[in-house]
Structure 1
Amino acid sequence: MWQNGAVTATERSPIHYATMSGFSRHDEHLFVENLPLVEVAKRFGTPCYVYSKQVLLDNLAQLKAAFPKSTPRFFYAVKANSNLAIIRVLCDAGCGFDIVSAGELARVLAAGGDASKTVFSGVGKSADDIKAALQAGIGCFNVESAQEMTRIESIAEADQKMAPIAVRVTPDVDGDTHRFLTTGVKESKFGVPPATALAMAQQAASSAHINFLGFACHLGSQICREAVYISAAQAMVELVKQARIAGITVQHMDMGGGFAVDYDNGSTLDISLAAYDATLADFFSDTPVWMEPGRSITATAGVLLTTVEYMKPAGDKYFWLVDAGMNDFLRPMLYDAMHRIEMVKNTTTPPLTGDVAGPICESADILGRNCTLTAVTGDVLAVRDVGAYGAAMMSNYNSHPRPCEVLVSGDKVELVRKRELINDLFRDECIAFVD
């Protein structure tokens, strides 16, 4: 296992090939940019998250190119991947940030981000969250209930500040996605109905301590149909019209994110957005549009490296038992998500078909089902497209230390999160009531 202290600066691989972008195969090797992943695994051990800086930048550029007419302002949704190095790359690329906690705000600031270019979303903001954001100079609160707005107003008054807000609207548009990823229907815990949003906007516009900026909506994640976004835009433009009739100034319209990633083929923005772009440009021609993408930027930029510990037949099934589990990567278990799993180095071993399973004592701990691989004990596998909601959702379940994370740029690789050690698991615990 590669020890934490062994890598303190940029490392270079001894193997050099022609310049490549993202993840690709060269002969028998799977590469991340100009580095063979087998070398990354040797240096840092497994499990290990590996990110490509170039893919991050390419995905952001592709997203911007999808909206040439409406030219939205982009705020990266930090919850997708909150590693400081990822935040810094996107900050340097001109992104603002969408956060859902004071902890994420602290990460943005630590990475060099600007609070004034940050949007604070989330349904359960505590008083401490609000105070921290106001103190930092937050760009906008996306307010999700009438009581939350009252709390923000009260805290802003006590601190003698103006709180910038937008009201998050639930337009009752079904994102046609996994039920755990749907946030735009009226039964959702997120946002408020349009009529309530209009009343809140009127109240905010007359407040001495609230600066009303506009409205926001977000339909969920992994939305694959362009028509869904257009339906949301139609609902939101009607609300803007009503607000302006009531004499309320709308300074921006936040349309959220949710753009689907094609996990089968490892591509972002799997749908055309030309009609949606044209709709936004038409509906909000005099109103700046904001967007909050997360998954579509980071998902395909990451892989999880894991080593086969054992091979095991079980009835009609076959298992590769690996050192990464649901504590390291939860998406397959939480969302029934299917991620491609590949050999880091191709071999001539006859292929087998079976499941890739982790070490956690749960039957649900299956990273991949019905995989065809040539892997044997000791081989390294790559779980693809894990850059979003992978490391961000790690845990210490079964008392497993969390894996390390590395960022690659060209032929350079840097450790951007140390691997936890066993003693780290109970570093902050103590034994109580001992005589």
Structure 2
Amino acid sequence: MHLSEQNSYTIQNIDPIQLVEQYGSPLYVYDGGTIRRKTQELQNAFSGINMKIKFACKSNTNLAILRLMREIGVELDVVSTGELEMGKLAGYDTGQITFTPSGVPFHEVKTAVEAGAIVNVDSIPLLEWFGQTYGNTKPCLIRLKPNVAAGGNIKIMTAHADSKFGISVLLLDQILTVVKKYDIKVIGLHQHTGSDIKDAEPFLQVADIVFEAALQFPDLEIIDLGGGFKVSYKPNDPITDMQLLGNKISERFKNFCEKYGRELQLWFEPGKFLVSECGYLLVNTTVVKEDPARTFVHIDSGLNHLIRPMMYGSYHHILNISNPAGEKKDYTIVGYICETDTFATDRPLPEVRQGDVLAFLNAGAYGFTMSSNYNARFRPAEVLIDNGVAKLVRRRETLEDLLLTQVGFTE
């Protein structure tokens, strides 16, 4: 969000307060220009190799966002058949979609394979079923677990020894036995370490493990190193140095390809990195309550719209866009859910008054997609701003939406 010389906030020169007046509050707003910039940043970091970006769309499945990703050459990684269908609706060819399940029923895998998506196999039982069902007639990737712990929060680490994700690299002999038994067409190896990884070292460590395992598979076309790059949450927050990471991994990857005997394609699956910074959750202040312990700011939203602070203890920077020049004071920002839903404790903000609009930053990833109807509340509308034009891309829910799937109701 840009602070202009007039001491007011804008997104691509559009006043977010006017968006709230037009579309209501709370409101999710996405800046398409930020998505384009983050995509270019990743492409530039790996400009010297054959690299493909697969957007981890579990972070944001709005069709307008998916269409924008497709426009700028980003493909998709999905984790459910529902996300697969959304990708198709956004115009993707199924061959551009990777299906990375986690212990799903095998009929979902069959649906994805027969739709034309490339499946990323995450267990020995699934690998056995895949071999029995398809032999070498369908390609697949295998998701390895490198047994490396890295990431900003234990809940979002996915490659350590106790993680449910992938097949442990310690079981490589079993993997190779099953692959040989059914002559499975393994075209790629995949791993995903976790999220919010700041330093290059964990990426290099897991890359070396995957590269070493890859030498046992003669027909590979792809190495997929996942995502997990750290984004900035707080002012001056350290982030992943993408250029440094790109240089180091590119060098390792080139050396591996030379050893392997031919050039492969390197994939990454960023989610939060591409869309976190593009998103804002705009809310209205309903009550400012002075208390002997602290001053509470109640807003017209809650963990039903943005669960990350309560689920992960995550930090979201908050702006008072109605009164940016007000005198600073400490506030505890809380939601309207009948349960503790604290967004920030003793956060310094310009004076907050009833009716002020607050903006939660870094709300583009795992905001709306993790939202719910808890307390029979409606999910917000979503607006995409791209090339200076604001467009409603999801209307606000109504009571009719909440009742739509209920059956057997009699008045």
Which category describes the TM-score, using the shorter chain as reference length? Answer: over 0.9
Structure 1 residues without counterparts, runs of 5 or longer: 1-22
Q: Which amino acid aligns with 1:350?
A: E
Structure 2 residues without counterparts, runs of 5 or longer: none
CA distance in 1, matches of 2:408, 2:236: 47
CA distance in 2, matches of 1:35, 1:195: 53
Contact 1:167 1:201 in 2 (8 A): no
1:300-333 Cα deviation digits (max 9, x unpaired): 0000000000000222211110011100001111
Q: Residues 417-432 of structure 1 correspond to what in structure 2 (within 5 A)? A: 417-431=394-408
Contact 2:382 2:394 in 1 (8 A): yes
Equivalent residue number for residue 376 of structure 1: 353
For residue 166 of structure 2, the aligned residue among 191, 194, 210 is 191
Residue 335, structure 1, aligned to residue 312, structure 2: yes
1:20-46 Cα deviation digits (max 9, x unpaired): xxx201123211112011111111111
326-335 or 211-220, which moves further after superposition? 211-220
1:91-140 Cα deviation digits (max 9, x unpaired): 111111101000000000000012101111121232331222122111x2
User: Structure 1 pair 267/405, CA: closer, same or farther in 2 (3 Å)?
Assistant: farther
Residue 213, structure 1, aligned to residue 213, structure 2: no
Note the C-alpha offset of 1:192: 1.0
Q: Which amino acid aligns with 2:187?
A: L
Q: Which amino acid aligns with 2:121?
A: V
User: Structure 1 pair 326/298, CA: closer, same or farther in 2 (3 Å)?
Assistant: same
Equivalent residue number for residue 366 of structure 1: 342
Q: Which amino acid aligns with 1:199?
A: Q
Q: Which amino acid aligns with 2:108?
A: D
User: Structure 1 pair 114/205, CA: closer, same or farther in 2 (3 Å)?
Assistant: farther
Q: Which amino acid aligns with 1:388?
A: A
Deviating runs (4+, > 6 A) in structure 1? none
Equivalent residue number for residue 10 of structure 1: none
Q: Which amino acid aligns with 1:413?
A: A
Equivalent residue number for residue 283 of structure 1: 256
CA distance in 1, matches of 2:237, 2:69: 19
CA distance in 2, matches of 1:254, 1:146: 19
Contact 2:297 2:332 in 1 (8 A): yes
Note the C-alpha offset of 1:278: 2.3
User: Structure 1 pair 186/292, CA: closer, same or farther in 2 (3 Å)?
Assistant: same
For residue 231 of structure 1, the aligned residue among 191, 205, 217 is 205
CA distance in 1, matches of 2:51, 2:237: 21
Equivalent residue number for residue 330 of structure 2: 353
For residue 63 of structure 2, the aligned residue among 57, 63, 84 is 84
CA distance in 2, matches of 1:167, 1:220: 17
| TM-score, L = length of structure 2 | 0.92
User: Structure 1 pair 266/47, CA: closer, same or farther in 2 (3 Å)?
Assistant: farther
CA distance in 2, matches of 1:370, 1:275: 41
CA distance in 2, matches of 1:51, 1:369: 26
Note the C-alpha offset of 1:198: 4.6
CA distance in 2, matches of 1:265, 1:431: 52
1:129-168 Cα deviation digits (max 9, x unpaired): 1222122111x211110111223344447xxx93321111
CA distance in 2, matches of 1:169, 1:355: 43
Q: Residues 11-50 of structure 1 correspond to what in structure 2 (within 5 A)? A: 23-26=1-4, 27-50=6-29
CA distance in 1, matches of 2:172, 2:277: 36
Residue 142, structure 1, aligned to residue 117, structure 2: no
What SS does structure 1 have at the residue aligned with 2:365?
coil
Residue 66, structure 1, aligned to residue 45, structure 2: yes
Contact 1:53 1:409 in 2 (8 A): yes
User: Structure 1 pair 31/351, CA: closer, same or farther in 2 (3 Å)?
Assistant: same
CA distance in 2, matches of 1:235, 1:314: 55
Q: Which amino acid aligns with 1:104?
A: E
CA distance in 2, matches of 1:195, 1:206: 19
Give the CA RMSD over aligned residues.
2.1
Note the C-alpha offset of 1:297: 0.2
User: Structure 1 pair 166/198, CA: closer, same or farther in 2 (3 Å)?
Assistant: farther
Identity of aligned residues (%): 28
CA distance in 1, matches of 2:140, 2:396: 39
Contact 2:113 2:119 in 1 (8 A): no
CA distance in 1, matches of 2:87, 2:225: 21
Q: Residues 265-304 of structure 1 correspond to what in structure 2 (within 5 A)? A: 265=235, 270-271=240-241, 272-273=244-245, 274-285=247-258, 286-304=263-281
